[in-house]
Amino acid sequence: MAERKKVTHVAMESTGVYWKPVYHLLEAEPIEVLVVNVQHIKAVPGRKTDVKDAEWIADLLRHGLLKGSYIPHRAQRELRELVRYRRSLIEERARELNRIQKVLGGVNIKLSSVVSDINGMSARLIIRALIEGKDDPAALASSPKGG
- For residue 101, CA distances in Å to 21, 87, 88, 92, 94 come to 41, 21, 20, 14, 11
Is the model's pLDDT at 119 over the cut of 80?
yes
133-146 pLDDT tens trace: 888 877 777 665 54
Q: What pLDDT does residue 16 have?
A: 84
Instruction: Kindly report the backbone phi and psi dihedral angles of residue 21, in degrees, each rounded to the nearest multiple of 5, phi listed first.
Output: -60, -40
Q: Provide the whole-model pTM.
A: 0.65
Q: What pLDDT does residue 93 have?
A: 95
